[in-house]
Structure 1
Amino acid sequence: MEVIEDVFGEIDGKMVKSYTVKNGAGMEFTCIEYGCIITKIIVPDKDGVKENVVLGFDTIEEYKDHSQYFGAVIGRTSGRIKNAAFTLDGKAYTLAKNEGGNSLHGGIDGFHNLVWDSSYESNSSGARITFTYKSPDGEEGFPGELDMQVIYTINDANELIISYRGMSDKKTVVNVTNHSYFNLSGNLKRTVLSHELRVKSDRFLELDSSFIPTGKTIPVENTVFDFRKSQEVGHGIDSNDPQIELVGGGYDHPFLLTTNNQNEICLRDPESGRMLQVETDEPCVVVYSGNSLETDFQIRGVQSQKHLGICLETQAPPNMINTPGFPSAILKANEVYSTRTKYTFALIEEK
């Protein structure tokens, strides 16, 4: 397994390393210390043509200016926290506000906007890239000094395994995910609207006008949110479903998973023949169909546009610290936060 360490750029005088892993099955994976961002995943199509299947940039400056969280690790909490506030053991905490009056994706300088420490190891069976960061007590308003570790493992089965591990010296809230935008067409040849998605979920969470879960679950049956059988991502985009219209014509919703670690999410692009299978121990996946992608920049020479990528954010449901009756992503002092998601890139089997 080949690992190439390089310099990607510089932030505030600090060098940002990149790591590129090449396996024996035609997969190439690149990530950087800034935000633990996955910048490229190159895999072959049905004709053996190797192309990139995630949205990303080649410079630090582009990530700072246009990223929309492309490929980044999100924390301490993914999604939105209503009014940028929560109460824990009777004590009120106020978070950094970076989307109106709410906190989004960990705040202004969340995990996505930091330079992590890194190391790597490899052998004949795989490669591991380990990122570490010590988040100080009070950072972005969150209590506790939190030691975080993110590990990317790549093997010859074209699997990417992301493992998250954390420990805090105080009771706190942790809900981490990866925000990669996938496009299996290869090198962004078309939008993801013709991609086919299957999610093992029979209920999704209703959103309020700020795109924050209300706590109400809605059955997917007889709605455009029913992906229990494979459906084109675009099949519900033009519907008049109020939840679709709310988020700008698309999906940005938490789906509650009915199984774990059993191929619960599958994304396919019939034209290229590529397929992505996702397995996780998390209770939920936020499906975001790129409804808010801006059009004022390019991504490696391709004009950005709505629905150019789809995010499959495995996590606990957002804002549950403020929603009674749901798992709230609370991490007790000196206990271990640990979760894992596996992404497998393959070809669609011909019938």
Structure 2
Amino acid sequence: MTATDGTRFGQTGTDQNGDTIGLTHRTFGTLSDGRMVTEYRMRNAGGLEVRFLDLGGIVTTMLVADRQGRFANVTLDQADMAGYEVNPGHFGALIGRFANRIGGASFVLGGKTYPLAANDGPNTLHGGLKGFDRAIWSVKSAQSGHALSAVLSHVSPDGDEGFPGMLKVEVVYSLNDENEFRIDYRAETTAETVINLTNHAYFNLAGNDQGSVLDQIVSINADLYTPVDNGGIPTGEIAPVDGTPLDLRQAKPIAAGIRSAHPQILKQRGYDHNWVLNQPSPHTMTRAATAYDPISGRIMEVDTTEPGVQFYTGNYLGGGTAGTAGVAYRQADGFCFETQHFPDSPNQPHFPTTVLLPGHSFRSSTVYRFKTDA
């Protein structure tokens, strides 16, 4: 399918203001190797809008209303195509084959050692040098109940970035009129492999041009977390959050913990940890986290079937990148709730397994729900 500016794609209509409801697409830009990138737009009847690229499934925009009905983009974006081609912070991207870190840039599976690219010190981060965020995904429209849906597909060949098995991946982005943006993941492999998928959106509920998120209030539904070493690799311990700044069971401002001198906060320059969610049973859709901006009144709830969530406070945003609003992003200008399995799971046998076998399917779902205090 050839994308052109303003082309309608799938089911569309118009709201009372004449704005298009549904899924549309347009040409976004061209990569340095000549590949064309297309941007897709999903918009519900209430005006909530999600835009994403076929490059890496990158979510570029989430236009969400505040308590006064004023819309702002609550996810950090890049200023242009060149920014997304480099995208060192993985802004808004689908992450795979293995989200987060694998210690020592290798793992053992079936008695065989699989070496990976060391792209985070001695470790592998977010799938290696060319993870799923660098791929051009196939996109088609679909209907998912009463939601607008887009199906993104990608085939990762056997040996891709060192991982075994050909992996067929399908990700469904859905938006309904209850202001729920849902991501459903599915994957199958031709050989025993490991897999961990997530989306790396950065959020600022005040708007992505409003600076620090330190006064925004968060809670995480977890009694336990996985402490890390100086390289961000889990030590293997599953520890209680009690008495630490990682106790976010009661909502509190991000600043309350990020200024702590606790060793775990100092090691990661803020929050960059995996919380073990209080799931009633494996694969059950569970509240993972909630965030609230008192100034705008925006609230975001995150539900997931994953066992963990990585809460990251943009500790390495150093002002070297800017968004479409012309504002440079600095430390703590955004936060991530990356729903996923635990980091370094292939090397931690007591963590929930990330092994996928031929004939089986990997499945995972996450819902981002937006509302206000009005």
- TM-score tier after normalising by the smaller chain length: over 0.9
1:21 Cα shift? 1.2
Aligned pairs for 1:316-335 (under 5 A) are 316-335=341-360
Amino acid at match of 2:355: I
- Aligned-residue Cα RMSD (Å) equals 1.4
Deviation at 1:252, TM superposition (A): 0.2
Structure 1 residue aligned with 2:217: 196
2:238 is the alignment partner of 1:217: yes
Residues of 1 paired with 2:188 and 2:309: CA distance? 23
Measured in 2, the distance between the counterparts of 1:291 and 1:193 equals: 12
Opposite residue 131 of structure 1, the aligned amino acid is: L
In the aligned structure 1, how far is the partner of 2:341 from the partner of 2:103? 15
Give how far 1:8 is off. 1.1
- Does 2:276 correspond to 1:256? yes
Contact 2:38 2:53 in 1 (8 A): yes
- Cα distance in 1 for partners of 2:55, 2:37 equals 6
Asked if residue 282 in structure 1 is aligned to residue 327 in structure 2, the reply is: no
SS at match of 2:301: strand
Stretch deviating more after TM superposition (165-174 or 183-192): 183-192
TM alignment of 1:139-288, pairs within 5 A: 139-248=160-269, 250-259=270-279, 260-288=284-312
1:297 is displaced (CA, Å) by: 2.8
Q: Aligned residue for 2:99?
A: 78
**Aligned pairs for 1:46-195 within 5 A:** 46-121=67-142, 125-195=146-216
Q: Alignment partner of 1:153: what SS? A: strand
The answer to whether structure 1 residue 8 and structure 2 residue 28 are counterparts is yes
| 37-46 or 54-63, larger mean C-alpha shift | 54-63
Q: TM-score, normalised by structure 2?
A: 0.90
Q: Which amino acid letter does the alignment assign opposite residue 27 of structure 2?
A: V
Structure 1 residue 211: Cα displacement:
0.5
Q: Which amino acid aligns with 2:206?
A: S
1:151 CA drift (Å): 0.7
- Secondary structure, counterpart of 2:227 in structure 1: strand
**Is 1:296 matched up with 2:296?**
no
User: CA separation of 1:329/1:124 partners in 2, compared to 1, >3 Å: closer, same or farther?
Assistant: closer
AA at the equivalent of 2:321: F
Separation (CA, whole Å) in 2 of partners of 1:171 and 1:61: 36
How far apart are 1:67 and its partner, in Å? 4.0
* Deviation readout 1:56-98 (Å, 9 max, x if unpaired): 1242211123440000010000111111101101011111221
Asked if residue 314 in structure 1 is aligned to residue 339 in structure 2, the reply is yes
Q: Structure 2: which amino acid aligns with 1:172? A: T
Partner SS, residue 104 of structure 2: helix
SS of equivalent to 1:71: coil
In the aligned structure 2, how far is the partner of 1:54 from the partner of 1:105?
A: 19
Residue deviations 1:200-226, cap 9 Å, x none?
Answer: 101111101110111112211111111
Amino acid at match of 1:166: A
SS at match of 1:165: strand
Unaligned runs of 5+ in 1: none
> What percentage of residue pairs aligned between the two structures are identical?
38
Q: Matched residue pairs, number?
A: 348
Aligned partners of 1:133 and 1:263: how far apart in 2? 29
1:170 and 1:334 in contact (8 A); partners too: no
